[in-house]
Amino acid sequence: MPLALGGEPSDYLEVLAGAHIVVSLLPPAMHLAVMEACLAVRAHFVSASYESAGGRALHQAAVDAGLLFLNECGLDPGLDHVTALAMLERVKAAGGSIASFESDCGGLPSRADLNDWGYRFFWNPMNVVTAGQAGARYVEAGKQQMIAYPEVFKRHRALFEEDGRPLVAYANRDSVPYMDAYGLQGIGTFVRGTIRYASFCSRWAALAEAGVANTGLVLEAGLPFDAWANLFEWHTQAHGLLRTLLAECNLTGGNLPEPMTSAQVLLMVLERCWNGEGIYKDRVIMQHRIGYQQAGTWYAYTGILDLEGQDHHSAMAFTVGLPIAIVIKQWAAINLRGVATIAQPQLWPIIYNNLKGYGVEMTYQTVPLPNPLYPL
């Protein structure tokens, strides 16, 4: 039955009637209406998206109805929680005193399909275009830090290097609430980030600085793409990048087909240049790094997940969908009601203990640290 997408619970009642568990892969803004419809038809709800304030407000209603509304059941957020919590549990069980936690994840092109930016689209392009616009908050050296757009892309952390190309991580929107979820209140460094090649961050910082991803002002239909690029001529690097992108995707000389914001124009251009679906293979990479002290010695405990996609089987789609599939398969073992994420202690071990059977394994390394202050 076709689903009439909308923002009201009534838009979903007919199609959800009789459902036991509803898995929503709709845009995040639509989840609240679906959750409210699930309350009406008495169906459980699962999504890969971040938990929202509106969703959390339904907690008691879901408990009273005997329902579980489960969010953050994808890759990031999702598998990042599961694998990080498993690592943290090992450190604590061995008597380690945790001082720092860094968790980073990203979807990238496969090593064989890299371009100059080190990036292509494999999942939700508009999220990439608007990334970082809310700024970021995290804890560093014992203090909360709040940085604004476009500084998010400038203040990235170095991770490691591959074939002379540095991989870095820029901070996600708000890391601080996850300190409670991970039981790491009061540690010196806590940050969750997105992995990109350094070439992407330096270039995107220029676009952000110039305001190319502006979502407010609307440009008129028929405006030449060249004229759009020239709006940012004052920013030499951004202007040069836009001119190069227009040439690469054969839009030089074309015109905007309808009234659009600059962010929408940028999205159209990048989709022409970077669309990887069915052409290129993708890669998912995730790294957790825990700094801790044990028996007077400081250590860094690192875990890395690195998966390459296959033909017609993207690594991103696989890792986003896998936690949902495991949850549905193991539903009878889940005794939890209300609004929750898979970071709950009743849930994450169920996911973690099933990952190996699907070929999802992290590699781990523990090394002593010479500096006892690292990374406080």
DSSP character string of 16-68: HTT-SEEEE-S-GGGHHHHHHHHHHHT-EEEESSPP-HHHHTTHHHHHHHT-E
Alpha carbon distances (Å) from 323 to 31, 124, 250, 329: 18, 19, 40, 10
Strands (DSSP E) along the chain, which ranges?
Answer: 21-24, 44-47, 68-71, 97-109, 136-140, 143-147, 157-162, 165-171, 189-197, 218-219, 260-261, 282-294, 297-308, 338-341, 363-369
| Mean pLDDT along residues 28-38 | 92
Concerning whether 174 is annotated as a catalytic residue, the answer is no
Q: Which fold has domain 9-74+319-358?
A: Rossmann fold (3.40.50)
Output the DSSP codes for 66-104. T-EEEE--BBTTBHHHHHHHHHHHHHHHTT-EEEEEEEE
In tens, the pLDDT along 278-307 reads: 788 999 999 999 999 999 899 999 999 999
| Region of residue 361 (phi > 0: left; psi between -120 and 50: alpha; otherwise: beta) | beta
Q: Compare 306 and 12 and report the one with higher pLDDT.
A: 306
Please state the pTM of the whole predicted model: 0.92
Q: What is the pLDDT of residue 11?
A: 81
Neighbours of 209 (CB within 10 A): 17
Q: What is the pLDDT of residue 15?
A: 87
Q: What is the pLDDT of residue 312?
A: 76
Q: What span, in angstroms and rounded, lies between the C-alpha atoms of 52 and 50?
A: 6
In tens, the pLDDT along 122-154 reads: 878 888 999 999 999 999 989 999 999 999 999
189 has which bridge partners? 100
Q: What percent of the chain has pLDDT over 90?
A: 82
Instruction: Report domain extents, the chain.
Output: 9-74+319-358, 79-212+274-315+360-369
For the segment(s) 79-212+274-315+360-369, the CATH number from 3.30.360.10, 3.60.140.10, 3.20.20.70, 2.102.10.10 is 3.30.360.10
Q: Compare 323 and 6 and report the one with higher pLDDT.
A: 323
Neighbours of 110 (CB within 10 A): 17
Q: Which of 11, 64, 76, 80 is catalytic?
A: 76
Query: Does residue 7 surpass a pLDDT of 90?
Result: no
Query: Does residue 313 surpass a pLDDT of 50?
Result: yes
